[in-house]
Amino acid sequence: MSGPRFSLIHDFRVGPGQLPTPASFDRVVELIVEAERLGYFTAWTTEQHGVDDGYLPTHLPVLSALARETETIRLGAGVILLPLTQFRRVAEEAGVVDVISGGRLTLGLGAGHHPHEFRAFGVELSDRARLMDEGLAYLREALRPGAIAPDGLPINIPPVQDPLPIVVGAAVKAGVDRAARLADGHFSYAYVDAEESLAAQWRNRIEPAMAAHGRERGEFQLIFSTFVWASPDFEREWQEHVGPAFLYQQRKYSEWAGEQAPPAGVLAEAPRLAELRHSMLVGPPAEIAERLAALRAVYPFDEIVIWPQLPGVPHELARRALACFAEEVMPRLAEAPGGPVAGKEEG
């Protein structure tokens, strides 16, 4: 097993009670350009709808802009809520982004969770599994150079990559099975008790699904998003900025769930910051590297996606955290069993 790849994700929110501005968008772009310089593998975006705090609602226009500001870092949609979209629109826009970026797009797709989003788009929540299967089948066929889409028409601008990588984000058993059955990889997430929850997900869901569908390690990618904060001054930064920002993120996810249970892994209640920190990947760089190496022994991930800037974390603090992780954690993991770190795509 070769070394892991390291990536970042951003939702473009500024902070509680604030909406994004041209200047705040520019600062996020600056952060991603800096991540490219530091050797991060993918810049991922994320998506929510019908919310009041500036959460990014669309991936591909933003990834197209990032394609013009970067040269080597991959660009990931993590994840497009496929049941809320028109499949051809996704295929056509993905093709354009892949061409503009010179073949750097990874298309992440998910079923969605929050009821208000389905109401907003006039889609029944009960139809999401069927729409995921139909949409994945459409995109697998349409997103090949020179292919004719299932509707009998070509994609105006086909992607450069053949095939364009598609990963499915899911936590429930049926979604994990769908990823193994129809996609090139699985995109997971874990914020609290990541070591235990991801090991259990690998053992109980991902590994059995891969075996059931004949998927081999190496050709089926394991990607997960988590919150990591590695810093020599982690305790002060956690108390003053990072912890409150994390609780804000979790509180909003829980609110958006409405009357149904929050998505798996989201905090339903807010514990004390000091207690919460001990169940998260927050600490000095050497400790974080050791814990991630131990995690990879029980959940053999290919790519870890970190949040350097949750809403309310100052830009300069996020920039320092991004650099600390690259300079202090990545090299230590490169020395761990499993081979060298792949910071940038080879070839």
What three-state secondary structure class fits 181? helix
Non-local (6+) Cβ contacts of 187 within 8 A are: 78, 79, 108, 110, 167, 168, 169, 170, 179, 223, 224, 225
The pLDDT score that the predictor gives to residue 257 is: 85
The pLDDT score that the predictor gives to residue 147 is: 85
The pLDDT score that the predictor gives to residue 2 is: 78
Tell me the Ramachandran region of residue 173: left when phi exceeds 0, alpha when psi lies from -120 to 50, beta otherwise: alpha
* Distance separating alpha carbons of residues 50 and 48, to the nearest angstrom: 7
**What is the chain's pLDDT, residue by residue, as a tens digit (347 residues)?**
678 999 999 999 999 989 999 999 999 999 999 999 999 999 999 999 999 999 999 999 999 999 999 999 999 999 999 999 999 999 999 999 999 999 999 999 999 999 999 999 999 999 999 999 999 999 999 998 888 999 999 999 999 999 999 999 999 999 999 999 999 999 999 999 999 999 999 999 999 999 999 999 989 999 999 999 999 999 999 999 999 999 999 999 888 888 787 777 777 676 788 889 989 999 999 999 999 999 999 999 999 999 999 999 999 999 999 999 999 999 998 766 543 334 444 33
**Residue whose tokens read 């798996």:** 264
Is-contact 82 132, C-beta < 8 A? yes
- For the chain, domains (ranges, CATH) are 5-334 (3.20.20.30)
The pLDDT score that the predictor gives to residue 270 is: 67
Residue 181 CB-density burial (10 A; 0-12 exposed, 13-18 middle, 19+ buried): middle
Name the pTM for this structure. 0.94
